[in-house]
Structure 1
Amino acid sequence: MNHSDTSDRCLRLGLPNRADVLSTSIAASYTGIMAFMAVASEGSFAKAGERLGVGRSAVSRNVQKLEAQLSTRLFLRTTRNTQLTREGQRFFENCHQGVSHLVEAMNDMLELREGPPRGLVRISSTVGFGRKVVAPLLEKFVKAYPDIAIDLLLDDRPTDFTSERIDVAFRDGRIEDSSIIARQLIPMQMALCAAPSYAAAHGLPHTLEELCRHDCINFRFSSGRVFEWEFKLDGRVRKYLPTAHLTFNDADLVLHAVLQGSGIAQMAGYQVSNHIVAKELVVALSAYAPDDRGHYICYLNRQHLPTRTRVFIDFMAAQVRALDLNCLSGFNATAIRPSTGGIAA
């Protein structure tokens, strides 16, 4: 007969479930053992009560219940003193090791929360941002906190914090999951870029309608979905899926093709800012750049965070914000009149 059959039979007969009896027994034993250990350590029921924050009579009752459960007298009690019996001394020695382990376990948890940062931090990040921004900062972090180990997972899929045991995730775009804490690091800028050689040969689009006349390069997510370009018109975000003559499932390949003059593409600011500063890329249609995206550092709960997680979040937030990833300020931005044509809602 398995455990489930036994439970069902107990319910039919009105008998207590064995698991319930066991849990009740353990709870009673734990209370009795704590009272017993306090009396044995303090040498007095009154002092044990003060240590546990309960009355002397409560301590006495719990010890008596434990003695009844064990069918053993644990203390020799007189009006003047309290001493362990031989059986009580043996029980104390056996229990002491277990209680010490419990105390050590609790102290270890408190140290993780309040002590020096140590242990493993498991991180998830989108592939592009992880490669370009997160990974280069990790060496500096590990040097600052040598007792913290880092495990970085690059994945463009939504983060499953629970099943993948993720402590911290870096996410891009718009965060719609209200179950997580999302702390914005920096705004996420999207820049429509081309190489100077492409601009010299084909010009740049000056209105949204002109996009269809240009050689466009697309990015495909691992899910198979093609990234849709986004623009802001009249305060609303509009998406545009260009007809492309080149499509890649790697953001670095998209960037490489644009640098080679193969076409235009909309890319994240962290990918292109250095190339814009070096005049290896020029920006088009910056007046239409969406401004409601962000790069976020995410975690499940701001309470009870281990020290290692707190210092990692604070370190990365400061370091990412210190980077100059603003690619749409002062770099050949095209001043154009707003247009409402050429883009579907």
Structure 2
Amino acid sequence: MEPLPEPDEEIGADDSVEPAERGFRVSLPNRADALSTSFAASYAGIMAFMAVASEGSFARAGERLGIGRSAVSRNVQKLETQLSTRLFLRTTRTTQLTREGQRFFDNCSQGVTHIVDAMNDLLELREGPPRGLVRISSTVGFGRKVVAPLLDKFMSAYPDVAVDLLLDDRPTDFAAEQIDVAFRNGRIEDSSIIARQLIPMQMALCAAPSYVQAHGLPQTVEELARHHCVNFRFASGRIFEWEFKVDGRVRKFMPTARLTFNDADLVLDAVLRGWGIAQISGYQICDHLAAGRLVVALAGHMPDDRGHYICYLSRQHLPARIRVFIDFMIENIRALQLNCLTAFNTEEA
């Protein structure tokens, strides 16, 4: 295919004939998909064309786009070649749209406006007032006891933000479940996510005073085998293993339980009723310890390498609604003073 003349070149007498009649042909799959043969060139050409049409000058279009005048001219020429249509009438003094160029400009304007609006909308989501939906995942116990009670205060502070809270003890699949923020417990080993510790995860072996009066408390990990234990079962079916720190090392213990529940609140309720002992997260028992409804055993062997975390996929390009939610939860959860196991009354058998 022979190239079209440069826009500044004079057009000869034969140029009054339509390009198709002069033998110019563009090999395209079909008319509707004309620009798909060279998307990058088409995009650059359309942006250059729109800038020239808006500014009325190739030089001013180059300034607007941050590229040279010659680059604008080349991009427009490539677009004209793709379309087999002359879009501008250029002289040494003026640059005007052809009738076909005006038609193309009118058709492109609506699409470009939509693109600009879409970009501005996303920029506003990041830089403007927080608005939109935040989808959250949390372990059941922590979500019910800590996260959910704070939502009213958060939504009062940010009335244009909606919250969707999913309580689930399974590992979070951010992509499949479209999760923005997740609250996780324990040890975070996934390096692909950002995990910020809210508070240490304190795990205490607890019993009610009535249980202590009837059965005493274990003084060593080995003595646990003689006690009535209450187990927690994860959604996966796995039983939660108790952990203790013995001689600087983590020691795991799988109790033989008389009772097993798949709900942390039911485990706590069974212990409060004096039905057995269980290892329970500190955030669940602070009030009960302060009121004397529970006591702690094996205090010197509590593990200290776990945490409660707020997790998300990336620090970059966070929308305002997610950014303010993360900051709000970090500040308010830490203010709850849930690290209550540093000082408490330990009952002995």
**What's the TM-score, normalizing by structure 2?**
0.87
**What is the aligned counterpart of 1:196 among 209, 212, 225?**
209
One-letter amino acid of the counterpart of residue 244, structure 1 = A
Alignment: residue pair count: 321
Over 3 Å counting, the alpha-carbon distance change for 1:21 and 1:99 in structure 2 is closer
2:4 alignment counterpart:
none
C-alpha root-mean-square deviation of aligned residues, in Å? 2.1
Distance 2:335 2:29 in 1: 60
Shift of 1:50: 1.0
One-letter amino acid of the counterpart of residue 158, structure 1 = P
Q: Is the 8 A contact 1:179 1:300 kept in 2?
A: yes
Shift of 1:209: 2.6
SS at match of 1:185: strand
In the alignment, does 2:90 pair up with 1:77?
yes
2:327 alignment counterpart:
314
Describe the superposition over 1:233-270 as per-residue Cα deviations: whole angstroms up to 9, x where unpaired.
11111011111111111111111111111111110011
Which of these two proteins has the greater Rg computed from alpha carbons? 2
Distance 1:88 1:22 in 2: 16
Distance 2:245 2:251 in 1: 6
Distance 2:90 2:212 in 1: 97
Shift of 1:21: 9.0
1:244 alignment counterpart:
257
Distance 2:36 2:286 in 1: 61
One-letter amino acid of the counterpart of residue 84, structure 1 = L
Distance 2:28 2:142 in 1: 54
2:187 alignment counterpart:
174
Distance 1:207 1:266 in 2: 14
**What is the aligned counterpart of 1:57 among 58, 67, 70?**
70
Shift of 1:280: 0.9
Over 3 Å counting, the alpha-carbon distance change for 1:303 and 1:284 in structure 2 is same
Q: Is the 8 A contact 1:229 1:266 kept in 2?
A: yes
In the alignment, does 2:223 pair up with 1:210?
yes
Distance 2:282 2:28 in 1: 62
Describe the superposition over 1:136-185 as per-residue Cα deviations: whole angstroms up to 9, x where unpaired.
11111111111111111111111111111111110000111111111000
Distance 1:18 1:265 in 2: 70
2:110 alignment counterpart:
97
Q: Is the 8 A contact 1:220 1:250 kept in 2?
A: yes
Deviates more, 1:137-146 or 1:185-194: 137-146
Q: Is the 8 A contact 2:244 2:252 kept in 1?
A: yes
Distance 2:338 2:28 in 1: 63
Q: Is the 8 A contact 1:192 1:264 kept in 2?
A: yes
One-letter amino acid of the counterpart of residue 120, structure 2 = N
* Structure 2: 5+ residue stretches without partners: 1-26
Distance 2:28 2:204 in 1: 65
**What is the aligned counterpart of 2:275 among 262, 273, 276?**
262
One-letter amino acid of the counterpart of residue 136, structure 2 = I
**What is the aligned counterpart of 2:53 among 16, 33, 40?**
40
Distance 1:62 1:178 in 2: 44
2:21 alignment counterpart:
none
1:117 alignment counterpart:
130
Q: Is the 8 A contact 2:28 2:37 kept in 1?
A: no
**What is the aligned counterpart of 2:166 among 128, 153, 158?**
153
Distance 1:265 1:119 in 2: 41
Distance 2:277 2:325 in 1: 37
Distance 1:315 1:18 in 2: 54
One-letter amino acid of the counterpart of residue 107, structure 2 = N
Over 3 Å counting, the alpha-carbon distance change for 1:22 and 1:59 in structure 2 is closer
Shift of 1:18: 6.5
One-letter amino acid of the counterpart of residue 152, structure 1 = L
Over 3 Å counting, the alpha-carbon distance change for 1:227 and 1:17 in structure 2 is farther
2:14 alignment counterpart:
none
One-letter amino acid of the counterpart of residue 249, structure 1 = N
Q: Is the 8 A contact 2:131 2:160 kept in 1?
A: yes
Distance 2:152 2:79 in 1: 55
1:229 alignment counterpart:
242
Identity %: 79
SS at match of 2:279: strand
Describe the superposition over 1:273-294 as per-residue Cα deviations: whole angstroms up to 9, x where unpaired.
1111111111111111000010
Distance 2:215 2:291 in 1: 21
One-letter amino acid of the counterpart of residue 225, structure 2 = C
One-letter amino acid of the counterpart of residue 198, structure 1 = Y
Over 3 Å counting, the alpha-carbon distance change for 1:56 and 1:160 in structure 2 is same
Distance 2:279 2:29 in 1: 64
1:67 alignment counterpart:
80
* Structure 1: 5+ residue stretches without partners: 1-15, 337-345
